[in-house]
A and B are shown apart, each in its own frame.
Chain A
Amino acid sequence: MSDITKQSLSELIKNIKDKKLSSTEVTKAFVERSEKSKELNAYVTEDFSAAIDKAKRFDENPNLDLKLPGIPMAVKDLFCTKNIKTTAGSKILNNFIPTYESTVTQNIWNEGAILLGKLNCDEFAMGSSNETSFFGNVQNPIDKDLVPGGSSGGSSSAVAAQLTPVTIGTDTGGSIRQPASFTGTVGLKPTYGSCSRYGIVAFASSLDQAGPMAQNVKDCALLHEVISSYDEKDSTSIDFKRNNYSKELTNNIKGKKIGIPKEYRVDGMPKEIEDLWKKGIDYVKNCGAEIIDISLPHTNYALPTYYIVAPAEASSNLARYDGVKYGFRADGENLIDMYEKTRSEGFGAEVQRRIMIGTYVLSSGYYDAYYLKAQKVRKLIKNDFDEAYKKVDAILTPSTPSSAFKIGEKTNDPVSMYLNDIFTVPVNLAGLPGISIPAGHDAKGYPLGLQIIGKAFDEQNILNIAYAMEEKINFKNKITDWWIK
């Protein structure tokens, strides 16, 4: 079968269970395509020969009752993988080989999946274009020199280019949903506390969540079902009843109340995004859902709040990189000099900028004016959603204010880069689940996404809405394999 990599995760699982394909055949197909796709720069670390060995071992004694039987999968390089280098896209972790496994990846391997390699990302997940990675830009398979979004840019590129059937990313302010939107793929940011943060390189602990990225909603639901678990190793993991999301998936959303927040109609939003949103509203209406206008009055304050809270937590989390216990070390004349040179040479410009912002807003005399203020506004933002959810079951918005942009287009203006996350950041601040699905193309032929935001722990509902919409939208990604010579 030459078209193995074109199959969805669900198709691959069925073919392996029906013994029409072996894990070795599937793994080799994805390895070969990944080998031919180096120009995308999606991988930081390849583990191809070990993957094929594992696939062979799986085939010798296949356990076909598992949810991901012998399925190869590459994951974002923010997840610690035992004995496999884990860099977080940073020079400071370029030599770091974890001695333990993240809970989320362990859940995946427990269900029979096989690691293909580690995928590129913005340094410490701080970025919206994958351009802050120490390991260079990632190409969007949609078009040459187009960013794949970020921070899970290697992940979105790899799924869209079919280098991996599905993958996992992390989302602190939009890092799964924005790259999914930029590459015509599906990405779910789960409710805070749904997926364990144990073994994920920390960025902003009150916002970080791992989540699935896939080519369709069903695959996304299945992978979410595998990774979501209660974990006592993460003190913010929440013990609630998790669904069999893929089994309970339905396109029947009759009578669901969908909110349309007027504040998401931002100044300067391109007409094609506005049109896409209107189309999305028609799709859910056609599915029998009811549209209700709502207001989220503090939407405009979400980004400024995020750019206090996230850097503050990052400055604290990243204090651990001191050149002593692990990671890169620069020589210094004394201990302090060693610390300062290690962090100056080991961190890239965006990470240093955010550590400095975070340090400033937490510093003596400024804490109340910035950090405490931001925590209070965060409460107002969460209250907006709580109010809205008294009237609606879910909220429909665009995923991003534009389609993917060119590499280098926004690197000199941090604030214009930050504005990319205007529709995704409020969801993280309120701890809610959100999913981005591909919904159309702009005039240039680049994909555009729509976001469905749910109530806390109501992933099933937004997956169902996404599933119903997906059927109506019938989106086809335009990938020409331009990078394969």
Chain B
Amino acid sequence: MSIDLKTIKHISKLSRISVDEKKAEKLAGDLNSIFEFIEKLNELKTANVEPLTSVAETTLKLRSDEVKSKNLREQIIKNSPQENEDYFVVPKVIE
């Protein structure tokens, strides 16, 4: 299997990371060597194996549905790169 530049561009779009030609070529090389290494898993037959999703063999605990923290607006907005009183500000979305 080989990851071509077109695929790199597609993944970069899905990842929301802008990639120029030079970076795309470097990434294609790196990813191909990593995937070559990953392909080793195909040596194993796993049709009858249950996938492991969590090593913690407990069921999630339930808690009562009640508000425990309030008035966090200031804390939540505090680290935003751009704010306008009570809102996060982003570049204009609707023309």
Give the residue of A232, A319, A322 whose beta carbon is less than 8 angstroms from that of B61: A232
A341 within 8 A of B: yes
Is the C-beta of A75 less than 8 angstroms from some C-beta in chain B?
no
**Which residue of chain B has the shortest Cβ distance to A307 in the bound complex?**
B38
Q: Closest CB-CB distance, B5 to chain A, in whole Å?
A: 13
**A376 at interface, CB cutoff 8 A:** yes
B90, A326: Cβ atoms closer than 8 Å: no
B interface majority secondary structure: loop
> What residues of A have a CB within 8 angstroms of the CB of B82 in the complex?
329
Establish whether residues B53 and A375, one from each chain, have CB atoms under 8 Å apart when the complex forms.
Answer: yes
Answer whether residue B14 sits at the interface, using C-beta atoms and an 8 A cutoff.
Answer: yes
User: Are B40's CB and A304's CB within 8 A?
Assistant: yes
| A-side interface residues, number (CB < 8 Å) | 71
List B47-63 residues whose CB lies under 8 Å from chain A.
Answer: 49-56, 58, 60-61, 63
**Residue pair B58, A238 in contact (C-beta under 8 Å):** yes
Separation of A370 and B51 alpha carbons in the complex (Å): 12
- Tell me the bound Cα distance from A333 to B95 in angstroms: 13
Query: Is the pair A335, B38 in contact by a Cβ cutoff of 8 Å?
Result: no
* Chain B residues in 8 Å Cβ range of A291: none
In the complex the two chains form, what is the Cα distance from A365 to B43 in whole Å?
A: 20
Q: Does B34 lie within 8 Å of A325, measured CB to CB? A: no
Q: Do B56 and A375 have beta carbons less than 8 Å apart?
A: no
List of B residues within 8 angstroms of A308 by Cβ = 38, 41
Known: A355-B17, A363-B14. A334 touches B79 (CB 8 A): no
How long is the Cα–Cα vector from A347 to B17 in the complex, in angstroms?
9
Give A339's nearest chain B residue, CB to CB.
Answer: B16
Identify the stretch in A51-59, A91-99, A151-159 within 8 Å (CB) of chain B at 4 or more residues: A91-99
- Tell me, in angstroms, the Cα distance from A305 to B16 when the chains sit together: 25
Q: B18, A415: Cβ atoms under 8 Å?
A: no
Distance of B46 from chain A, by nearest CB (Å): 4
B19 touches A324 (CB 8 A): no
A130 contacts the other chain (CB 8 A): no
A319 to B17, CA, bound (A): 11
Tell me if B33 is interfacial: C-beta within 8 Å of chain A: yes
The CB with the most chain A CB atoms within 10 A, among B33, B37, B76, is that of B37
Q: Which residues of chain B come closer than 8 Å to A352, judged between CB atoms?
A: 15, 17, 27
Smallest CB gap from B15: residue in A: A359
Q: Are A356 and B31 interface neighbours, CB within 8 A?
A: yes
Distance in angstroms from B23 CB to nearest chain A CB is 8
Within 8 A of A (CB), among B9-46: 11-12, 14-19, 27, 30-31, 33-35, 37-44, 46
- Specify the chain A residue showing the minimal Cβ separation from B88: A324
Q: Mark A364-404, 1 if CB is under 8 A from B, else 0.
A: 00000010111111111010000000000000000000000
Selected from A325, A344, A373, A429, the residue in CB contact (under 8 A) with B18 is: A344
Distance (Å) between the CB of B53 and the closest chain A CB?
A: 6
| Bound complex: CA A192 to CA B54 (Å) | 10
With contacts A235-B60, A301-B40, A304-B37 known, is A377 near B15, CB below 8 A?
no
CB pair B16–A340 under 8 Å, yes or no, is yes
B78 touches A97 (CB 8 A): yes
Output the least CB separation between A35 and chain B (Å).
29
CB of A377 within 8 A of CB of B41, answer yes
B92 within 8 A of A: yes
Q: Does A6 contact B (CB under 8 A)?
A: no
Q: Does A236 contact B (CB under 8 A)?
A: yes
Contact yes or no, B56 A431, CB < 8 A: yes
Which of A336, A339, A340, A380 meets B44, CB within 8 Å? A380
Residue of A nearest to B93 (CB): A335
Q: Given A353, A372, A414, A431, which contacts B55 in the complex, CB threshold below 8 Å?
A: A431
Residues of B within 8 A of A319 (CB): 16
Minimal beta-carbon separation of A374 from chain B (angstroms)? 7
Contact B40 A359 (CB under 8 A): no
- CB pair A356–B27 under 8 Å, yes or no, is yes
Among A301, A363, A375, the residue within 8 A (CB) of B11 is A363
A113 to B41 alpha-carbon distance, docked (Å): 46
Nearest residue (CB) in A for B20 is A344
For window 283-328 of A, CB contacts with B under 8 Å fall at 298, 300-301, 303-305, 307-308, 315, 319, 322-328
Task: Please tell me if the beta carbons of B38 and A379 are within 8 angstroms of each other in the complex.
Answer: no
Tell whether, in the assembled complex, residue A376 and residue B34 are in contact, meaning their CB atoms are under 8 Å apart. no
Q: Which of A301, A326, A327, A336 contacts B16 (CB 8 A)?
A: A336
In the bound complex, do residue A97 and residue B79 qualify as a contact, i.e. CB atoms below 8 Å apart?
A: yes
Contact at B81–A376, with CB atoms within 8 Å? no
A193 at the interface (CB under 8 A from B): yes
- Chain A contacts of B56 at CB under 8 A? 192-193, 236, 238, 431
B75 proximal to A (CB < 8 A): yes
Cβ–Cβ < 8 Å partners of B34 in chain A: 307, 353, 357, 414-415, 418
Beyond A324-B80, A336-B16, A414-B33, 5 extra complex contacts between A and B, CB < 8 Å: A323-B81, A343-B18, A357-B34, A377-B49, A379-B51
A-B contacts, 20 of them at CB < 8 A, read A99-B75, A99-B79, A192-B55, A300-B40, A327-B79, A329-B82, A333-B91, A341-B18, A344-B17, A352-B17, A352-B27, A356-B11, A356-B17, A373-B41, A374-B41, A380-B44, A380-B46, A414-B30, A415-B34, A429-B55
Top 8 nearest A-B pairs (CB, nearest first) are: A431-B55, A375-B51, A326-B79, A329-B81, A340-B18, A379-B52, A99-B75, A376-B46
